[in-house]
């Protein structure tokens, strides 16, 4: 495994266009690489009430985010708005549960296989063709995961457990990376308002 920094990863990602993200380029790049210790440290911010979405970098074609999970934090079951999603567990353990992609907002949820726990070093891929899913930190320790989404989206559909229907939810970030034109990180700043 070659060790790469967040800058190495962005150097690979930023020249890519929509068509590249539909190819196997990302999978091939990630195949033999992993992130160097602490490279994502500036982007690791936890929140108490729910999991944290920390944006590293975003352009028209992709967004790279660090998600932070305290014990018990979970996402609702959600779709991916037609995007491709690569996810890597950086630390801790997260549990995935997949369901068939719903034919309509009120369609009954159909589980796909059993819930699966994944740890550091594991890569997972999902898109709407594969289904919808929820992610949970079912452990007693914090967890951190790296998410690459192509293309970026501002909302997705989430399953409302009370009404048993999918509904549209706006997505926001806890923090966002601010970069200089030369590609140096200036800061990872708190986003306002916090929607989700
Ligand atoms: Fe997801």
CA of 87 to the centre of ligand 1 (A): 8
Residues 6+ apart with CB under 8 A from 168: 155, 156, 157, 158
Report the chain's mean pLDDT, rounded to a whole number.
95
Segment 161-183 mean pLDDT: 95
Q: What is the CATH number of the domain that holds 56?
A: 2.60.120.10
CA of 126 to the centre of ligand 1 (A): 7
* Cis peptide bond N-terminal to 151, omega within 30: yes
Segment 44-57 mean pLDDT: 96
Q: Which position has the token pair 């970069």? A: 179
d(CA 82, CA 105): 16
Domain ranges, residue 44: 2-190
CA of 125 to the centre of ligand 1 (A): 9
Q: Is the pLDDT of residue 196 over 80?
A: no
Residue 195 lies in a domain: no
Tokens of 191: 């986003």
d(CA 83, CA 171): 14
pLDDT in tens, 87-132: 999 999 999 999 999 999 999 999 999 999 999 989 999 999 999 9
d(CA 30, CA 4): 10
pLDDT value of residue 174? 95
Segment 57-68 mean pLDDT: 98
CA of 128 to the centre of ligand 1 (A): 10
CA of 22 to the centre of ligand 1 (A): 18
- 3-state DSSP assignment of residue 79: coil
pLDDT value of residue 50? 95
Segment 129-139 mean pLDDT: 97
Q: Is the pLDDT of residue 195 over 90?
A: no
CA of 66 to the centre of ligand 1 (A): 13
Residue 196 lies in a domain: no
CA of 133 to the centre of ligand 1 (A): 6
- Model confidence at 58, pLDDT cuts 50, 70, 90, reads very high
- Model confidence at 154, pLDDT cuts 50, 70, 90, reads very high
Tokens of 123: 């890569």
Segment 62-83 mean pLDDT: 97
CA of 80 to the centre of ligand 1 (A): 6
Domain count for the chain? 1
Note the pTM of the prediction, 2 decimals. 0.95
pLDDT value of residue 192? 78
């Amino acid at each position: 495994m070659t060790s790469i920094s967040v800058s190495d990863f962005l150097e690979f990602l930023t020249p890519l266009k929509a068509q590249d993200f539909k190819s196997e380029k990302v999978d091939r790049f990630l195949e033999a690489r992993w992130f160097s210790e602490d490279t994502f440290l500036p982007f690791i911010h936890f929140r108490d009430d729910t999991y944290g979405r920390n944006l590293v970098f975003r352009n028209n074609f992709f967004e790279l985010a660090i998600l932070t999970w305290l014990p018990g934090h979970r996402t609702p079951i959600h779709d991916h708005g037609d995007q491709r999603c690569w996810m890597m567990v950086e630390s801790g353990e997260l549990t995935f549960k997949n369901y068939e992609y719903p034919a309509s907002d009120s369609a009954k949820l159909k589980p796909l296989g059993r819930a699966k726990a994944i740890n550091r070093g594991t890569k997972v891929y999902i898109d709407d063709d594969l289904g919808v899913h929820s992610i949970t930190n079912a452990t007693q320790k914090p967890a951190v995961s790296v998410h690459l989404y192509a293309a970026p989206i501002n909302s997705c559909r989430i399953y409302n457990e009370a009404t048993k229907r999918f509904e549209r939810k706006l997505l926001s970030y806890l923090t966002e990376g601010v970069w200089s034109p030369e590609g140096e990180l200036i800061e990872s700043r708190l986003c306002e308002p916090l929607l989700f």
